[in-house]
Structure 1
Amino acid sequence: MSSFQFSSENEPEEIDSVTLTDNEGRTLECYVENALEAEDGTYILLMPVDIPVVILAWDGRSEEEDEDTNVVLLEDKVEIQEIFPDARAVLAELDLALSFTAFTLTVKGELPPIEDDGILNLELDTEEQPLDSEELQFLAGFYHKNQRYSVYTPLAPLLFLAKYDLLGQISLVSPDDQQMQPILEELLFDDTE
């Protein structure tokens, strides 16, 4: 679910940003990176205004000892809310302001320079995409109730595919849908020109 303010003076290709809203009322400001007109509406490629981050929970002795370490990407909203104050505090020490926004956690501020020893190659084994790999930059680590957590930001931009329909409503569209693949490819290809 998303909300969007539309007036007849704004054509979809002239819109600079939109606000997505999730089912719990949290919002996420996004830039419109690209738009593609279609018969059933306009498809838009969105990128968050603020910097997306993820929180990882570590189970093991150290991040370097792969055989003794398991990492879990936190997605449970209840667990995120429980550790949120600690995560916000350690990021504030880096002059980064953490927000619990729609669809992702985000930070405002200037990221520290990328260092090779701070890069984590995370392999996610999901039902949709077995062994999908993502590179993450380390930002901060902390403990909560004897559990070790780390905050990372993805090195690749987080993009959302949305459809602006003929009634003026914006809704997120799954990029994994086979019918959306040609549209997504065209939006991505046009964006690189």
Structure 2
Amino acid sequence: MEAEDFEMDAPTITLTDEAGRTLTCYVEHSLQLEGQEYVLLMPVDSPVEIFAWQEEDADDEAALPVDEAEIDQIFPIAKAVLEEQNLTLKRTAITLTVEGELPDYLEEEEELDEEEEDQEELQLLASFYHEEQEYTIYTPLDPFLILARLGADGQPQLLSPEEMEKLEPLLPMLEDQLFDELE
């Protein structure tokens, strides 16, 4: 069975944030905890992050995540740049996503995080300039998983910071279990 066939058969659910934006996700895993049902979700479309490059000194640059206000300004440009690669940038809940087939990953690993043990591997999709500022668009190579609570109506709800803090110690165990199931 091909991965694409599996994904099409996997149940999907739509998550909505406070701003009314939606994100369609595959339900990767569900669990009961203290009488409440939680689901581990993975976006159907590929998540992306946009970074702005800042010069720290003459020899060093740092990539800083772009905030919501800046995304509002550069979104049309980022969308146009990605359309050149047949990717459609979407303003979705929790994260920006792209619809379309991602280019093959080249083995040059892109890492933007300073701390070695927490480095996130990313694939560069595009870069562009706006008002003399360089921006880059990356997609994470690791699965982007979202933990949500199912409400009484069966709809997923984002967790409060308190709830997330309480459940966070369980996440590595859930991820290990999920990856064991995928292998």
Give me the TM-score of the superposition, normalised by structure 1: 0.77
> Equivalent of 1:177, from 146, 165, 169?
165
Q: Which residue of 2 is the match for residue 96 of structure 1?
A: 87
1:51 partnered with 2:46: yes
Question: How many aligned positions are there?
Answer: 169
| Map 1:35-114 → 2, pairs under 5 A | 35-60=30-55, 67-74=59-66, 76-114=67-105
- Tell me the distance in 1 between the aligned counterparts of 2:175 and 2:120: 18
- Tell me the distance in 2 between the aligned counterparts of 1:137 and 1:169: 32
Indicate if the aligned counterparts of 2:17 and 2:158 stay in contact, CA closer than 8 A: no
1:48-77 residue CA offsets vs partner (Å, 9 max, x unmatched): 00000000101239xxx9942121111x21
Indicate if the aligned counterparts of 2:90 and 2:97 stay in contact, CA closer than 8 A: yes
Q: Which residue of 2 is the match for residue 128 of structure 1?
A: none
1:157-193 residue CA offsets vs partner (Å, 9 max, x unmatched): 11001122456453223585244423x3443233222
Q: Secondary structure at the match of 2:79?
A: helix
In 2 relative to 1, CA 37–87 (structure 1 residues): closer, same or farther, beyond 3 Å? same
Find runs of 4+ consecutive structure 1 residues off by over 4 angstroms. Answer: none
1:58-106 residue CA offsets vs partner (Å, 9 max, x unmatched): 1239xxx9942121111x2111010011101110111100001111000
- CA apart distance, 1:17: 1.2
1:4-47 residue CA offsets vs partner (Å, 9 max, x unmatched): xxxxxxxxxxx811111111111000110011123422111000
Q: Which residue of 2 is the match for residue 155 of structure 1?
A: 141
- Tell me the distance in 2 between the aligned counterparts of 1:53 and 1:66: 29
Greater percentage in helix:
2
Q: Which residue of 1 is the match for residue 130 of structure 2?
A: 144
Structure 2 spans left out of the alignment, 5+ residues: 1-9
Query: What do you get for the CA RMSD once the two structures are aligned?
Result: 2.6
1:103-160 residue CA offsets vs partner (Å, 9 max, x unmatched): 100001111111123x3112168xxxxx732111001010001100010000111100
